[in-house]
Amino acid sequence: MKFTKALLFTTLVLAIPSLSMAQSIDLGRGALPLTVPSNYSAGTPMPLIVLLHGYTFSGERQDAYMGFSKLADRYGFLFVAPDGNKEPGGDENRFWNASPACCDFFGTEVDDSAYVANIIEEVKGDYNVDPNRVFLIGHSNGGFMSYRAAYEHSGTIAAIASLAGANHADERSAPDSPVHVLQIHGTEDGTIAYDGADIQGNAYPSAVESVTRWAEYNGCSTDGGERELRDLDASLEGHESSVLSFGQGCKIGGSSELWTIDGGSHVPTLSETFSEQVVEWLMAHPKIQF
């Protein structure tokens, strides 16, 4: 399977150390490490970030690549990076059932959207989570999963950030609540094409189509505005990434934005500030604007 081989290749990008977390929860898939920042207080609502890994990865390995748990103390958020189920055959890769295109290749029909929602509710039950600041970050298959969870649980999720993922391809009515959406995508992505394509005959939209669709869902004007360049990929010179923002006329609690890494790959060499930029964008996009 060409797509599978391409994604498996990404697992060889780097050797990843183990992580040590302070707390854990269990929703039937084993102990799930939970990062609780040192400044957590039960009397103060705190943001929650859920990181969803790419196909063949795990939550631990995804976080080692992106480094979000290391920012929990600095920015003050609870953090969890769950694992998708293993495939019932083949190489038993971990996956999320996110869309027809990606990545339930064995047709298990597992309800990972409900699983993500249950994780959020479990953390809310144990900690004082700010209901206006529940965020998802996903890479590749995890990006697809972030879009699905945001659509199906729009009342819970304030914002998502998808690196090299894509929205659903089919036409749908808007979700019940607006959600802020950030898509980050490299123009030279050879696995999930920036311009859209298909996986095993199942189409997925382009990066521009993904954010435009969510701009429409959120009631924004689809005349996007160019903004400042960003440095997201350390292997590319200068501030290589353009920003297209859909923020005019949006419903409260909704917007859409695209960061295009010019020349970026499926697994970019993240800049020193990549993760900080993503966290700061999320924190600036709560469910309700104050």
Q: Per-residue pLDDT averaged across 35-51, rounded?
A: 96
Tokens of 251: 């419903």
Residue 239 amino acid letter = H
Res. 22 pLDDT band, cuts 50 70 90: low
Tokens of 98: 């996110």
Please provide the average confidence, as pLDDT, over all residues in the chain. Answer: 91
User: For position 289, what pLDDT does the model report?
Assistant: 55
Residues 6+ apart with CB under 8 A from 192: 102, 140, 143, 164, 165, 166, 185, 204, 266
The most distant pair of C-alpha atoms in the chain lies apart, rounded to whole Å, by 51
Res. 17 pLDDT band, cuts 50 70 90: very low
Report if pTM > 0.85: yes
Q: Per-residue pLDDT averaged across 222-239, rounded?
A: 91
Looking at residue 239, what DSSP letter applies?
S
Residue-range domain boundaries for the chain: 2-283
Give the tens place of pLDDT for each residue, 71-91.
Answer: 999 999 999 999 999 999 999
Strands (E), 112-195: 129-139, 159-163, 180-186
Residue 20 pLDDT greater than 60, yes or no: no
Tokens of 239: 């501030």
- Least Cα distance to 129 among 25, 274, 273 occurs for 25
Looking at the structure, give the CATH architecture of the domain made up of residues 2-283.
Answer: 3-Layer(aba) Sandwich (3.40)
Query: For residue 222, how many other CB atoms are within 10 A of its CB?
Result: 13
Question: Comparing 10-14, 72-76, 109-113, 158-162, which segment has the lowest mean pLDDT?
Answer: 10-14
User: For position 228, what pLDDT does the model report?
Assistant: 82
The DSSP bridge pattern shows strands 180-186 and 159-163 to be parallel
- CA distances to 36, 46, 47, 137, 246 from 24, in Å: 10, 17, 17, 19, 37
Residue 58 pLDDT greater than 70, yes or no: yes
Q: Per-residue pLDDT averaged across 171-194, rounded?
A: 98
User: For position 223, what pLDDT does the model report?
Assistant: 86
Residue 2 pLDDT greater than 60, yes or no: no
Question: Where does residue 28 fall: left (phi above 0), alpha (psi -120 to 50 degrees), or beta otherwise?
Answer: left
Residue 216 contacts residue 203 (beta carbons within 8 Å): no
Phi, psi of 219 (to 5 degrees): 75, 15
Residue 53 amino acid letter = H
